[in-house]
Every structure is written in structure tokens, then in C-alpha cells.
Amino acid sequence: MAETRKLEGKVALVTGGAQGLGEAILKEFALEGAKTIIFDIDANESNRVKEELRKTNNDTEVVIIDVCNSGAVNIAISKLCKKYKKIDILVNAVGGFYNFDKITDVTDEEWHKVINTNLNSAFYCTRAVMKYMEKSKSGRIINISSGAGIAPNPHAPSYVPYGAAKAGLLGMTKLLARDAGEFGITVNAIAPGTALTPRVKKVRDASSISNIAKMNPLKNIIEPVDCAKAAVFLSSDDARYITGITMMVNAGNLIF
Ligand SMILES: NC(=O)c1ccc[n+]([C@@H]2O[C@H](COP(=O)([O-])OP(=O)(O)OC[C@H]3O[C@@H](n4cnc5c(N)ncnc54)[C@H](O)[C@@H]3O)[C@@H](O)[C@H]2O)c1
């Protein structure tokens, strides 16, 4: 008997869906039958993903947007909700960092940029989508945090502004999960370990990567698809009563 796809008929919005973990999540959602939407600032990469999906008979809607701009986010989400009548799943995957400066070298501008990209953007998208999810009395929100939001990486350098932003995202996940429950909305986080996305290839040197892989209990680093499978699970009916959790996908990099 053919297996039913887990997200058939769902409308899923993935921020940062043009590259890295967001791209892997978006593609896995498409494979599971969801109508997908990319929110990303990078038009070239977004169109590349759209074209790749087209070749596999899947479609995605591309919205070129800076998710740190709350006004633009409100307008874009309101347009989408008019078009699709709902958004079932929101994945806040925009984020990352590019420095390892020590705290005394971090400028105000850099601090605000990292908090804006990793935390404020998720707040803006969540606030805008929640209004519609509350009305439809259902929804799934998944915040892509990081192991850095839980503890410093035991095997490689960590970056304080990034860890602070990602810890904020975990706090938002837990508090919002309680408030959103009465509307049938679940709110969860994924805390990935290091994965070789285009950004990480730029930011971490080869010795850092091999050290993490060697020291992780499972003797490797994760791949983006590992986070994508976790996101499918959290978005599916299988996870209907799971809310407020942080799923660590990290080859054992952090164990609590
Ligand atoms: N890759 C890892 O090892 C790792 C580990 C832990 C957590 N994470 C988290 O996973 C998420 C994805 O990371 P990644 O490594 O795949 O990053 P990435 O840079 O490869 O992809 C991020 C995507 O977000 C888009 N983007 C960035 N700023 C934007 C903005 N203001 N508005 C709209 N789009 C924007 C980029 O264009 C890109 O397509 C991030 O939140 C990151 O913190 C990644």
C-alpha cells in the first residue's frame, strides 16, 4: 500500500528557504506534499531552489524579502493568507553569524545585527502568522535555534551574540508554546549541531569541522537533511501533542 505523504495539503512557509538548512527543510516539506513558500533575501538562490523543485514536479512560491523588516513581513504574510486562506506551518530558519570576535571587540552594530537576524526576524514572522493560525485554530511553528543557544560548543569556538540570540529563541519557543496551545498551535525548536551549509563552510575552518566530527559521540557532523526530517516530524500529525520542546539534532555534540 502506498504510504501517505505526511504534509499533504499543508501550506508551509520557510524563512531562509533558499539555502542551507532552510533549503533542506523546504525540499523535504515539498516531498511530503506541502505547498511551500520561501521567504529569503537572496533572489538567485531562491530561484535556483524553485527551478530544482520544478524539475521534480514540485512548485514553490518565492517571496524576496528581508525578514528583519517587520512592516514588509506583515504585508507579505497578509497577502499569502489572502491567497492560500491559511498558513499551516512556519519555520523560522533565517539566522547565522560570520564572526568569532571576543565580546570586547563586538560593536553595537554587530550585536544588533546578530540579534535582529536570529531573534527579531523570528518574532516578526511568528507574530504575523499567529494572527491567522489563531483564527484557524491550528498551526505549527518551528524555530531553528542552535546548540549555541544551550551551551558553548565543547569542541570548537562559539560566538556570544549568536548564542544569546539563539537562547532567546528557545525562551520564546517555550513561553509561546503555552500561550498558543489553546488555539491548537504547537511551537517547538530545533537546535542543530554543526552542518556544512554554504555559510558554515565560510565561517568555520576545516580543523574546527574535523574536530567537531571526531569528538561528537556519533563520530560525524549532521547533514541538513537530518534537521529537515526533524522538522517534518514536528509538523506532522505524529507530533500533535508535542509542544515547547527543543529537539537537539547534533550527533551527540551536546547531551543533557
Ligand atoms: N549550519 C549549521 O551548522 C547550523 C547550526 C546550528 C544552527 N543553525 C541555524 O540554522 C539556520 C540556517 O543556517 P545555515 O547555516 O543554513 O545558513 P545559510 O546562511 O546557509 O542560509 C540562511 C538563508 O537565510 C537567508 N537570509 C539571511 N538573512 C536574511 C534576511 N534578513 N531576510 C531573509 N533571508 C535571509 C540567506 O539568504 C540564506 O538563504 C540559521 O538560523 C542558523 O543559525 C545552523
Q: What's the confidence (pLDDT) of residue 256?
A: 83
Task: Return the ∠ at Cα 71 (arms to 66 and 72), rounded to 5°.
Answer: 40
Q: Which of 199, 204, 222, when mutated, tests ligand 1's pocket best, judged by the most ligand atoms within 8 Å of its CB? A: 199
| CA 32 to ligand 1 centroid distance, Å | 22
235 contacts 12 by C-beta, under 8 angstroms: yes
| Residue 159 is among the residues annotated as catalytic for this protein | yes
* Angle made by CA atoms 16, 213, 103, in degrees to the nearest 5: 65
Model-level pTM? 0.98
Strand blocks (E) in the chain: 11-15, 35-40, 60-64, 89-92, 139-144, 185-192, 246-249
Residues in the chain, pLDDT under 70? 1-2
Among 52, 94, 253, the mutation site with the greatest number of ligand 1 atoms within 8 A of its Cβ is 94
- CATH for the stretch 11-194+223-248: 3.40.50.720
Quick one: pLDDT at residue 1? Answer: 58
